[in-house]
Amino acid sequence: MEKGYTASITGIGSFLPKKVLTNDDLTKMLDTTDEWITKRTGIKERRIVENGVTASDLAIEASLRALDDANVLPSEVDLIVAATITPDCLVPSTACFLQDKIGASNAGAFDILAACAGFVYALSIAKSFVASGAMKTVLVVGTECLSKITDYTDRSTCILFGDGAGAVVVQRGNGRREIITTHLGSDGSQAELLMLPAGGSKLPTSHETIESRSHYIRLKGKELFKVAINNMVDVITKTVAENNMKIEDIDLIIPHQSNIRIIEAAMDRLKLPREKAYINIDRFGNTSSASIPIAIDEIDKGGMLNTGDSVLLVAFGGGLTWSSSIIKW
């Protein structure tokens, strides 16, 4: 087997539902205000799927756009890795549904669950397969229908989440958008800070779990806020140092769009101007594993980066999990 390849992102695509749920819409459902939501989260609106739409449905459009951008046919894909916490169902994987729906007849397919850090986790898998020579073309997708697991009677969580999908094609290096490094971390001892309690082997679906609304996301906001800032700063600092770079060498940080206050606090701790972090949470909310690839697509289509720019991806989410990557554009 040949070894020693670099891995590059050769295609990028995203897809967002048309339906918009604004803060004003939420004020009609909850005891809240646009000002309160905006101040606490930075979110003004988020996209929501229509009834019957699944995570794989969102992933179809994002994937086909990424494949078209890379000039790659679905039949040329060797592997599909889908990052999601809202799979179509537990078995089979969302990646398998996607494989069938786009006609990727020669691809293996599986899901990973690393919450908001999932896309970079999946990207690290793709990089490893391509760099080793084991595969030539890997489709990486982050796709979420978070509205399906959001409790719209809980104002502390329902203001945060939106739906969407983003995808990239990873192939052998072509001199552009090279994935220089990826870093992954976790701390399961703090799992209770962000979790969906029921539906697994610990709490199988029952009348009790339904009545207690245990099939919706639960988070401990204050505790998670502090941990998220500390971990984001730590993983960014380590990623830069381990690549013999200085923080000033990074041209753009693409953070997971969790909460504007977390992002701003992390940038302040790093002594970086806030405009060096790309922000779209105001328009899309927190889309978990889909947020970074959606942002990458916006940045690429908007021509916001120059060849040779250093881009740092960073995410933190339930697990607890965190991840980072440096891409040379």
Residue 221 sits at the vertex; the CA angle it makes with 197 and 216, to the nearest 5 degrees, is: 30
Residue 175: pLDDT band with limits 50, 70, 90: confident
Question: pLDDT tens across 60-108, in order?
Answer: 999 999 999 999 999 999 999 999 999 999 999 999 999 999 999 999 9
Question: Residue 28 burial (CB < 10 Å; 0-12/13-18/19+)?
Answer: exposed
pLDDT at 132 over 60: yes
- Domains in the chain (CATH in brackets) are 7-175 (3.40.47.10), 180-328 (3.40.47.10)
The mean per-residue pLDDT over the stretch 155-177 comes to 94
Beta strands 163-172 and 7-15, pairing class: antiparallel
The predicted structure's pLDDT at residue 2 = 44
Catalytic residue, chosen from 23, 96, 116, 231, is 116
Quickly list DSSP for 224-245. HHHHHHHHHHHHHHHHHHHTT-
- Amino acid (one-letter) located at 258: S
pLDDT in tens, 235-279: 999 999 999 999 999 999 999 999 999 999 999 999 999 999 999
User: What's the pLDDT score for residue 179?
Assistant: 97
Grade residue 3 by pLDDT with cuts at 50, 70 and 90. low
Q: What is the pLDDT of residue 256?
A: 96
The answer to whether the beta carbons of residues 72 and 101 sit under 8 Å apart is: no
Which residue among 96, 145, 183, 256 is the active-site one? 256
- Could you read off the pLDDT of 198-246 as tens digits, one per residue? 999 999 999 999 999 999 999 998 899 999 999 999 999 999 999 999 9
116 as an active site residue: the answer is: yes
Tell me: pLDDT of 1 over 60: no
Report the percent of the chain where pLDDT is more than 90: 96
What pLDDT does residue 85 have?
97
Mean pLDDT of 111-125: 97
Q: Report the alpha-carbon distance of residue 128 to residue 126 in Å, rounded.
A: 5
Give the integer Cα–Cα distance in Å for 323 and 212.
32
**Active-site residue flag, 145:** no
Q: Is it the case that residue 122 has pLDDT exceeding 60? A: yes
Give the C-alpha separation, 314 to 329, whole Å.
16
Which residue in the list 23, 231, 259, 286 is annotated as catalytic? Answer: 286
Is residue 304's pLDDT more than 60? yes
Candidates 20, 9, 99; CA nearest to 60 is 99
User: 75-84: per-residue pLDDT in tens?
Assistant: 999 999 999 9
pTM: 0.95
Share the mean pLDDT of the chain. Answer: 95
